[in-house]
Amino acid sequence: MLKFAFHEKTWEEIKELSRSPNSVVILPLGTVEQHGPHLPLGTDTFILEGIIVEGCKKSRYKNHILILPAIPYGFSHLHARFPGTISIDDTLLKEFIYTVGESVLVMGFKKLLLISWHGGHHSIMHDVAYRLKKKFRDSIVVYASIIEMVFDKVKDLLEGPVYHADDLETSLMLALNQRVLLQKAVRDGKTSYLNNYVSLDFKRKSKVKVPVAIDEFTQSGVIGDPTKASRDKGAKILEIITNELSKLLETISGF
């Protein structure tokens, strides 16, 4: 039994936890999408769930944190030409996430965290969070894209461009003991275009935002250099990320 799993509690336990002002419910937003020839389709979800569980363990409010089952499918249209990717229309996905969040807040919880590893979910979380706040004025609805939250703290540990199925994601998957076919890892991907206004590399901030089809920039599905990944590097990065998440959870719980 996972200590923090919402769906492993009884309704009486949920009722009691919903009355605590320190309780936080976490809704993880995952994906099923290509991650190159060396990582599984569920990489975003595996990384996200691993980070959340370890971050919760470090929180002093750990007895008041609940993790909902991760939504497995996400908005992944830009990876659609790679076999294995399953993408949900953004309008449908927003309604689904909103309905889950609404259910949590209706039952009495006051604090909800929408969280994702997949960068394509940022605007979706933004829209849902504001809709929920509009209806539940006494609630605290937080949304966080982990990569954006911590990238400045981990970027110096990484080699090559960092964007997709790269050194970062591969190292974290190794540290989390997930399936990695490291012998198939390849460096690949164009990382900038439009006169450097847009960069497919988190190390270089894009000046403007432009949707891209990933297959136009990589044949393997990789944008970055996963050949530089290692378990030790992943463990260091995981420690940094989970510390930051623990701080965020303590701030929300104690507010």
pLDDT for res 205: 84
Residue 235, pLDDT above cutoff 90:
yes
**Which segments of the chain does DSSP mark as H helices, in order?**
11-18, 43-58, 90-106, 122-135, 146-154, 167-175, 231-254
Distances 189 to 128, 193, 210, 216, 218 between C-alpha atoms, Å: 32, 12, 17, 9, 4
Per cent of the chain over pLDDT 70 is 99
Residues 163-217 have pLDDT tens digits of: 999 999 999 999 999 999 999 999 999 998 888 788 999 998 888 888 889 999 9
Residues 105-150 have pLDDT tens digits of: 999 999 999 999 999 999 999 999 999 999 999 999 999 999 999 9
Q: In the chain, what are the domains?
A: 6-254 (3.40.50.10310)
**Token representation of residue 176:** 């989390």
Degrees, nearest 5: CA angle 117-122-126 = 135
Distances 73 to 5, 31, 93, 124, 213 between C-alpha atoms, Å: 19, 4, 9, 13, 18
Q: How confident is the model at residue 11 (pLDDT cuts 50, 70, 90)?
A: very high
Strand partners, 133: none
Residues 21-75 have pLDDT tens digits of: 999 999 999 999 999 999 999 999 999 999 999 999 999 999 999 999 999 999 9
